[in-house]
Structures are given as structure tokens and as C-alpha cells.
Amino acid sequence: MQKIGILGGGQLGRMLLQAAANYPVETFILENDEQCPAAHLCHHFVKGDIRNFDDVYNFGKGLDAITIEIESVNEDALEKLEQEGVRVYPKPSALRTIKNKILQKEFYKEQQIPSPAFVVTKNLAELRAQAGFLPAVHKVGVGGYDGRGVQLLNSPADLDKGFDAPAVLEKMVTIHREISMIIAVNDKGENVLYPPVDMVVDPRLNLLDYQISPAEIIEKTLWKLEAIALAVVKGLKSPGIFAVELFVDKGGDVFVNETAPRVHNSGHHTIEANYSSQFDMLWRVMLQYPLGNTDAILPAAIVNLVGAEGFEGEAKYQGLEEVLAMDNVFVHLYGKKQTKPGRKMGHITIVSRDKQDLTYKANRIKNILKVVS
Ligand code: ADP
């Protein structure tokens, strides 16, 4: 039986392990927090820091393959493991490119992949000299996620909100739609694409609000999305699973926003709504089995369940019974004991042939279900 490790024990690791139960595989988690969402679903829990060279190297050296559920891992250790014959998904070289927003943007430019124009700023002083580039979006090079490393700069008065660290300043796009394309690539370089996902972002939290898949887009735009997302993944030259986030503007032009080299929040509906989920697919890739079927069984919506404003402490789920009583609604709680405002605590998937039913239920669930303390 193959031994496969996951760096990080959050909800992505948890859902990966749920899918692993269907396969002959022995699973390992490296994570500091013994109470993390993935801790009790793996065969072997190893306490350690995913950013520390020795912890990652020692964790990985007896394994057949290793993957990540978050980008902030020690890629030097992954590189050494790769040299010693451990299969790493994604390849450390691809992870290095993606992990740093500056390198990621330079990669798009080199590969002639459409992505908003940008300049690199090393610190606040350099940013202040770029008033002429506004309106723009400032994105910190390393360490930002879930909107925390992104600042919208509309006018020169906003410049002080930027990051005093290496970052990219990117032209602001007038976004018509935000689409996520999930693509799996196996060791042979064969790939499969999931249907596009329409992501609706909460402007206040800068966090995904709800999403619908398959996104309703005209064929010509879909072709562009597919071609550009595939170009990103081909350029990265790595097996694994990737989520390419793209903007579509009013004129139908498509730009890459960013890429995640792992299972992604925008693919959670695939558990119920597609024949092979993104989690199932990654096991197929890592265990070197045939790729799965990405087709949608039914259209789906996802609502993220985040900690309500004003509540911090032991999590309680208000309205859960009412949501569970709804038809074709699937509740996923991540098993986090503590809630705080904006923390991702779970998600709800709705499937329905009728798109109006999806948005109606998504909005109802957002009003009914609250994580409080
Ligand atoms: P994160 O990795 O933290 O999710 P993103 O790079 O996806 O950060 O940015 C968060 C959100 O900010 C995006 O979903 C989008 O709504 C907005 N955004 C990012 N870049 C741009 C841009 N160039 N123009 C307009 N809006 C943007």
C-alpha cells in the first residue's frame, strides 16, 4: 500500500482524507495543531511545522508521495525529497513560481498568458511613486491568503494602505465575472478540466460569497477560459490539481488573476455535483490511477459558512436543523472547535436542475445558518 502525506491539516486535508478512504492508501498528516480538522481522519498524525525544513524532510522521507493543502510550506525540503525519489504534487518548482505573487506574475508574462499589467514594488516608498498606475490592486509577494494580502488602491489617498514589503501592483480590472477553472494533470501530462465555476465575492470580507457551477457563459468566452487555464497549467509543467482563477471583463476579455496548485475552495461542490470530485481526482493522480470523469451530474451552488461577526469562542451552529431539512442540500462542517469572525467553518452544497432554485436556496441558507459562540 502506498504511503502518502499531506502538508497541513485544515479543511482541505480533511476532505482529501474523506476521499482517501475509498482507496488503498496509508495517509499521513503533518501539522502543528493536534486538534486540526484533518487530525482524526488520517492513519498517522505527525506534529510539526510545515514551514520548517527538518520537519518536512523527516515527515516526507519514508513516503511514496506528498501533497500540500496550503502554499506556505518549506519547498527546499520538498525539493530534496523530490531528488530522493518522493513524488511531490505539485512539483516544488511549480510551487515556487506560484507561492510568490511576483514570480507568479512574471511567469504569466513570460508565457504570454493574459493577466492584468503590473509593476513590482519593494516597499511603501516605491509604491508611493506609482500614483500614476492607479487605480490598481496591491498584492503582497508572500504570505497573503483569503483576501488578507490584497489592497484595492483607487486613488493616491489609498497608497498608504499598501504593503511595506515586496509586492505587485496590478492594474484594476472592471470585473464582470470571476471564474475558477479546476484542472487535474497526471504524471503522463494528461489533463482533465472541470466545468467553469462562477465565483461571487463578498466585497466586505474579500472572501468567496457563493458560487455556481457550471457558470453560464457564452461558448466563445468558455473557449478562452479553457485555453488560458490550460496554458497556465501546461506552463507549470507539473502533475497535480490546479485552480486557475480568472476575470472576465465586460468586453469578454479574459485575464488570469491567480493560480492555486492544490484542491481549492471553488471546487468543493464537486463532492456531490461531479462524477469524480477534486479530492477523488487528486488521489487518482497521486496513486497513478486513470483520471476521473469531471462532468457535472447536476448544477450546484456552494455557500461558505464563516464565523459570524461579533462571535468568538466555542462554535455553535444556529439554524442547522432547518438547513438539514431542505432538499438536496449537503452540509460540510470542518470540525473547528473555535469560531471567530470570517473564519471558514464549513460549506453547504446545493444541487438542482433549476438554477433559480440554487440561488434561492443559497440566499436562504445564508440568512438561516449562522456560526455563533
Ligand atoms: P486572495 O488570494 O487573497 O484570494 P486575490 O488575488 O484572489 O486574493 O484577490 C482577492 C479579490 O480582489 C479578487 O477575488 C477580486 O475580487 C479582487 N481583485 C484582485 N485583483 C484584482 C484586479 N486586478 N482588479 C480588480 N479586482 C481585483
Dump pLDDT digits (tens) for 131-178.
999 999 999 999 776 667 999 999 999 999 999 999 999 999 999 999
Axis crossing angle, helix 101-110 with helix 219-236, rounded to the nearest 10? 110
Residue 150 Cβ inside 6 Å of ligand 1? The answer reads yes
pLDDT at res. 210: 87
pLDDT at 35 over 60: yes
From its phi and psi, is residue 189 left (phi > 0), alpha (psi between -120 and 50) or beta?
Answer: left
Dump pLDDT digits (tens) for 204-220.
655 557 899 999 999 99
How much distance in Å is there from the Cα of 4 to the middle of ligand 1? 33
- Asked if residue 328 lies in contact with residue 348, where contact means CB atoms within 8 angstroms, the answer is no
Flag whether 101 is marked binding: yes
Residue 116 Cβ inside 6 Å of ligand 1? The answer reads yes
- Distance of alpha carbon 324 from alpha carbon 332, whole angstroms: 11
Dump pLDDT digits (tens) for 45-56.
999 999 999 999
Flag whether 79 is marked binding: no
Flag whether 257 is marked binding: yes
Q: Which of 329, 332, 240 is nearest to 14 (CA)?
A: 332
Which of 150, 198, 250 to probe ligand 1 with, by most ligand atoms within 8 A of CB? 150
Q: HSE, CB side, 13 Å, CA atoms: give it for residue 275.
A: 7
Q: Which of 159, 112, 107 is nearest to 132 (CA)?
A: 159
Mean of the per-residue pLDDT values for the chain? 95
Query: Which range is least confidently modeled, 166-180, 207-221, 225-239, 323-337?
Result: 207-221
Q: Which residues in 48-90 belong to E strands, given as ranges?
A: 65-68, 87-89
- Distance of alpha carbon 44 from alpha carbon 5, whole angstroms: 9
Query: Which range is least confidently modeled, 141-145, 229-233, 314-318?
Result: 141-145
Sign of CA dihedral 244, 250, 253, 257: negative
Flag whether 258 is marked binding: yes
Sign of CA dihedral 115, 300, 183, 215: negative
- Asked if residue 27 lies in contact with residue 4, where contact means CB atoms within 8 angstroms, the answer is yes
pLDDT at 202 over 90: no
Q: What is the mean pLDDT of residues 68-75?
A: 96
- Please state the length of the chain: 373
pLDDT at res. 113: 98
- Distance of alpha carbon 336 from alpha carbon 302, whole angstroms: 19
Q: HSE, CB side, 13 Å, CA atoms: give it for residue 183.
A: 26
Burial class (CB in 10 A: 0-12, 13-18, 19+), 366: middle
Measured CA to CA in angstroms, residue 88 lies from 6, 72, 256, 289 at distances of 10, 15, 25, 16
Q: Hey, what's the cell of 113?
A: 498568458
pLDDT at res. 71: 94
Sign of CA dihedral 67, 290, 242, 335: negative
> How do the domains of the chain map onto residue ranges?
2-89, 117-171, 175-372
pLDDT at 293 over 80: yes
How much distance in Å is there from the Cα of 20 to the middle of ligand 1? 32
Q: What is the mean pLDDT of residues 92-113?
A: 97
Nearest-atom number in ligand 1 for the CA of 171 is 23
Measured CA to CA in angstroms, residue 132 lies from 4, 82, 155, 157, 163 at distances of 50, 44, 9, 12, 17
Residue in the block written with cell 502538508: 7
Q: HSE, CB side, 13 Å, CA atoms: give it for residue 256.
A: 29
Q: Which of 293, 285, 290, 243 is nearest to 89 (CA)?
A: 285
> What CATH superfamily is the domain 175-372?
ATP-grasp fold, B domain (3.30.470.20)
pLDDT at res. 209: 76
Q: What is the mean pLDDT of residues 268-274?
A: 98
Phi, psi of 348 (to 5 degrees): -120, 130
Fold observed for domain 2-89: Rossmann fold (3.40.50)
> What CATH superfamily is the domain 117-171?
ATP-grasp fold, A domain (3.30.1490.20)
